[in-house]
A and B are shown apart, each in its own frame.
Chain A
């Protein structure tokens, strides 16, 4: 079942912060985050594993609440280069058959 992302779209000014959420109705083993810039392929950002710690990547970090089957992606002091569509992907067990992606959150950062 496809995870639900919220919000669907975010508009920011440079330097502002944003949070993107990803929720699943099923127990999860891992959550992946990808970013897709306009006209390009999705690119990996980070993986959060069950029982693992909060991850960070530049000014982008994420958390994973296993009890709630939720993950949040935090973008702080946003830059123009952060614009794109963010996808979460969820995995229910280690090396299962599939990574299921959410519907995406479109982020636009303006000067």
Chain B
């Protein structure tokens, strides 16, 4: 089954404790992206990757890191999380940036 898998689905952590949210897709998609969703602000792009070893900043990259060492994986790293990073995070993939994006189920993060 074609899917984008995010883990964990829910995470509660404390300020400053490094964390990683994993994202994996099995569709051999070149393009992968991370979004955060906050009430009233819609989906805002954090980082995206056009292919392996190619990543770039989206609209709200501060406080986040990503890597794309393999085509299927695109982890999101918060080196020192802060409460303003409490949000719902989605990973998405597609063949190209302008094609249909397939979203993961989401990760709800709370930073205390």
Which residues in A have some Cβ–Cβ distance to B below 8 Å? 2, 5, 29-30, 32, 34, 40-44, 47, 87, 89, 91, 94-104
Stretch of B19-27, B62-70, B79-87, B98-106 lying at the A interface: B98-106
B74 — which chain A residues lie within 8 A by C-beta? none
Residues of chain A contacted by B40 (CB below 8 angstroms): 103
Q: Is the CB of A41 within 8 A of B98?
A: no
Interface size on B (CB < 8 Å)?
Answer: 25
In the complex, chain A residues whose CB is within 8 Å of the CB of B99: 47
CA A94 to CA B99, docked complex, whole Å: 10
Q: What 1/0 mask marks residues of chain B from 31 to 65 whose CB sits below 8 Å from any chain A CB?
A: 00101000011111100101000001011000000
**Within the complex, which residue of A5, A96, A102, A103 is in contact with B98, where a contact is CB–CB below 8 Å?**
A96
Q: A42-B43, A104-B42 are in contact. Are A96 and B97 (CB under 8 A)?
A: yes
Number of A-B contacts defined by CB within 8 Å: 67
**Interchain CB contact (< 8 A) of A30 among B42, B44, B98:** B98
Q: Which residues of B contact A (CB under 8 A)?
A: 33, 35, 40-45, 48, 50, 56, 58-59, 90, 96-106
**A91:B97 contact, CB within 8 angstroms:** yes
B100 touches A101 (CB 8 A): no
| 17 intermolecular pairs with C-beta atoms under 8 Å apart | A32-B100, A34-B101, A41-B90, A42-B90, A42-B103, A47-B99, A87-B42, A91-B98, A95-B97, A95-B98, A97-B48, A98-B59, A98-B97, A101-B43, A102-B42, A103-B41, A104-B43
A29-B106 Cα distance, complex, nearest whole Å? 28
The chain A residue sitting closest to B106, CB to CB, is A41
A98-B103 in contact (CB<8A): no
